[in-house]
Structure 1
Amino acid sequence: MIFGEESSVLLTGSTGMVGTAVKRQLNNCLDIKLLTPPKQELDLCDRQQVDAYFEQHRPDYVLMIGAKVGGIIANKTDPVGFLSENTRMQLNLFEACHKYETKKNLFLGSSCIYPRDCPQPMKEEYLLNGALEPTNEGYALAKIMGLKLAKYYYEQHGMLTVCPMPCNIYGTNDHFDLERSHVLSALVRRFVDATDENSHSVTLWGTGVAKREFIHVDDVAKALLFLMEKHTSPDIINLGNGRDISIRDLAMLISQKVNYHGEICWDTTKPDGMPRKCLDVSNMTTMGFKPSISLEDGITRTISEYRQLKKEGKIR
């Protein structure tokens, strides 16, 4: 059993892509009290609000999923927000977890914590062995601080927080706003729209040579609950499938799936971001977890979901 009977579980970021996937999994746990406060009820950046919420609800377990997230454009244009907001959320949550003596927590990290020129595949011990990728440095620094808080609270106070480091997450309930979306969802929107509009060409950022590893959000949710049950250390653990794909090949794959026959152009004046991000997932595999949704199947799902949202008029 992941959580004890009648346990209270606080899930932050419950309306986001990962949060909603975790909530779908936890809906099967009828013996727990699941707390999913919206931002209007609990602003994680407000220390007093966080403390008051913990004092009132006394969660036994906390899943720290909520964060300020975005793609390369958002990170480049608002590094202050990505560093300061995420840092404040983390400080407030870890302090409250310690003060109100939670039993076990989870802090969701990101593969962007690894150095820009990290050896591939990236092992957990490569953290802080080099300079970060400049285009998402603010977000990465905040996440690294969260990892260190987890480590220090465990060493100093015995408070256990497990720290999964997923590769690029995509899938159900992702957003398709081109200013904020991640690469896979952005490509799905670009090619579906181009097909619908009979566009002769689509121009994409960068050279297309950068490589990324992807995992569907439903696999992430299952992995997070798996770690809450099995993992007993604050040491980071990579979460992915161990295989990456170039952005150029990803664009071709998505364009083929939506039957787009126009030209794909590359704006090489725009940044590629980190050259390659492929995780060594041997520790997670040894523990007994492997993702079950292939990239091709996940892309097919995402295309279908975007088309449905567009049909319903929910895409601006």
Structure 2
Amino acid sequence: MFRKVLIANRGAIACRVIRTLRKMGVGSVAVYSEADGHSLHVEQADEAVCIGPPPAAQSYLCIPAILKVAEETEAEAIHPGYGFLSENAGFAEACASAGVVFIGPTPRQMRDFGLKHTAREIAAKNGVPLLPGTGVLKNVDAALQAAECVGYPAMLKSTAGGGGIGMRLCASAEELRDAYEAVSRQSQASFGSSNLYLERFVTAARHIEVQIFGDGCGSVIALGERDCSIQRRNQKVIEETPVPGLRDDIRARLLETAIRLGKAVRYQSAGTVEFIYDNSCGDFYFLEVNTRLQVEHGVTEEVTGVDLVEWMVRLAAGDMPALESLEIEPKGSSIQVRV
């Protein structure tokens, strides 16, 4: 087991990781910007080091600064939390080059699932249901032509998007034409890529995601599903498990599908497979994979009794029991509301 882990994050998730590390008897190192010196995660950690000015680019996103602290404090591993560098394949590779263990999925998995069009390709190869959609669009004319096959209404999305950023609902060719350049510019500014694709929009939709965990050697288990349908501006507001009003056979198919996709890439650590569920017909379709710990992971922990952060740390340290040997029996319900 590790003696010391650095948390490359701040706020609630940093405190969450520190809590588990303390339970495990593992030392914690917090990093903070000059603006966060009095934050709770700084107070709770065994050690805390300032890594730069308030702008995230000069602190929480500054890979050299974070790795320097890891070296100075002799931290053997880094937990990225969520947001910031949590899905940055380059950061995971930089950790490996510096001799520090990155607690999370592999760089390849982050890259493959980080771009929505490649994620769709992987899903298609493994028999995961997909909504009618496209690959990367060359330009607005290609989008208009493709939309005739995809059908309206359609969602115009950034291939590198996330967090509800870089998408626009288009109900007609005119709306698609007007939206294309704006979404492309937003995608470039937010994610460094202007690539877009189209996907059929489901009007009577629910947003359902499955929590998975893999050992990186081909074994993957599902820890239940969460309903994240109630959103504001494409941002989740309420998350609940188990999903209310979902037939048992559909629930079983969702979990099996998520496991199949995870096994196909020999998924490592915690991840979430997200689906769109069509209330009008009972079908579900692949949406994306988040290669990190989700904000809403706590609702799954409440009903399963599993500490996902501990599992992530143990797997990274080579101290995780075989997943097949674990008996998980969800009990009760859990709900999280973001205020």
Give the TM interval when normalised to the shorter protein: 0.3 to 0.5
Please, what TM-score do these two structures have when normalized by structure 2?
0.38
* Structure possessing the higher relative contact order (Cα contacts under 8 Å, 6 or more residues apart): 1
Give 1 or 2: higher helix fraction: 1
Give 1 or 2: higher strand fraction: 2
